Structure 1
């Protein structure tokens, strides 16, 4: 499953338009696509024809453990589904304040649908906060829409610094590319700014440009992606071309994922051989796994370290059921930082929860 975050802390750059229409074009190319709306303004939700007055559970319920991701997914078109947002999503950061593992809630939720979708497109809010961090924490790639205005490149420093911080602190290297949006081919200014973006980002710029197109706005107002509204428009042509660029990268992304599997498989993952537990702890001397499945015996299950990646891994056979577990890193008991599901331990702290 390929996870792409569409992110820019600046509003009005075509972020939501890109998320909605890129996802639909990928669906038209026979990929199973899930659009995750993390923006409390819920513009992507509305652009998919779902109104605020509609009674449904949203990403707020997922983050607050009121529903699973599968419970809220709405199949809207063939191969194209959405996990909707609402104004209540703006309260997520406050609701999760102080909770351990809050940065990986979305990653944990997406594991439950890994086999059901080929692509997950995440529409991020126009800010660098907990919601955006959740999106970046689980994404392998990021698309940064940049409108052709004098303020477009200003302020990107914080976003790029966040991506670099995730690489250094979390060993999570996100491949990002810039996308020129609201491009007016008639103006010299647009061409000059596009050249400046290419100088700034080098080869990390999509060849496709998103031209000014009023039909994109009209499609959003009607609650339909451009593919379902006007296939003769330049907006449809642009996003179809962008989807072909994204599809052309599938082989390289798969190779990178195979070579760097630790980026997308931290935490407990169900495999054919059992449940694989993976924890990133490059400085640790020993890592052990304990849980109610082995009566919390700290001497039984020791993880093996990959010296190249710093990831510790162990696969064990577990029957179906609900389990609580922790890791012991050099004698210190901790819950799994890559598993958002936790329960309070009667002896103090948190236990991670796994349900098979």
Structure 2
């Protein structure tokens, strides 16, 4: 039985209020405050290298296969008038063309399927993580995701070895992806933070969680990652370009950390920095994500991550791709700041919501956070 999604959504909204419940959340900064961050980084760097109380859950690519990597490289493809008349969703033919171009520019391969083959092997078990928390007005668009899934199948991955994952059914609906819209055999999973309703209240759902609880070093908080992630060997991350009321910016990194764990609300304190970086540093995530794509057809410059301030959502008509989630989020942060300036809003730093976790992720070796070292290739079609 599914848990009560409306009540869960209400709890999410409450947790997204920066002032709400700080004293009731478990915090990793109980007495030390921000001065403890260098020590936390040191501890997490050890954990990222394998010194963790939990056994390794790192994924290993199939024998003889080495996924494509390009640290510090981000490709942006723009196409004017690629949005439908409603200014919400991309035109299907334009989305596929933009996906194809961003992938071929990133990999140097001649077409979409050849590009996808650089990231996946037919023996992989694949997870596609989408994002629909802002519902139909601003979810990762099915017009972008479906051609990618079709390319995975054309690259030799059996359809029944591909799973599309979201946190709640309402969030999946926000992407407008349905089981009927997917190629036959592709699976859909809704993890509900790993919970299922029982006679005595919510309990852990073994169909969605099968790993031991582990401490995220430097946070003082334990979690589990959901089964569709832990059982995958390769993950593809479809995220958005959005303001976030707590952490300032939400893109590739947070879509995997808070979107694939059982207690994301416990990692929101202190602007979710450095928790997002510390969570992504876990072998469960960093060993699986092979490619991140930002759906930039619209940018939410303020009021995120929910759809609450549509006046601060602007058309952008771009798709970004990178194997480096840190570099990708640095560019995404830059884009949000550009639109905030145009709207006359404070910078995220001045608003005390700078996404410091992105730079922390760079310090942890998860990617390139130094803007001078990030290569942004922009293409207009």
- Could you tell me the TM-score, scaled by structure 2's length? 0.27
- Report 1 or 2 for greater relative contact order, CA contacts < 8 Å, sequence distance ≥ 6: 2
Structure with higher strand content: 1
Kindly name which structure, 1 or 2, has the bigger radius of gyration based on alpha carbons: 1
- Could you tell me the TM-score, scaled by structure 1's length? 0.28
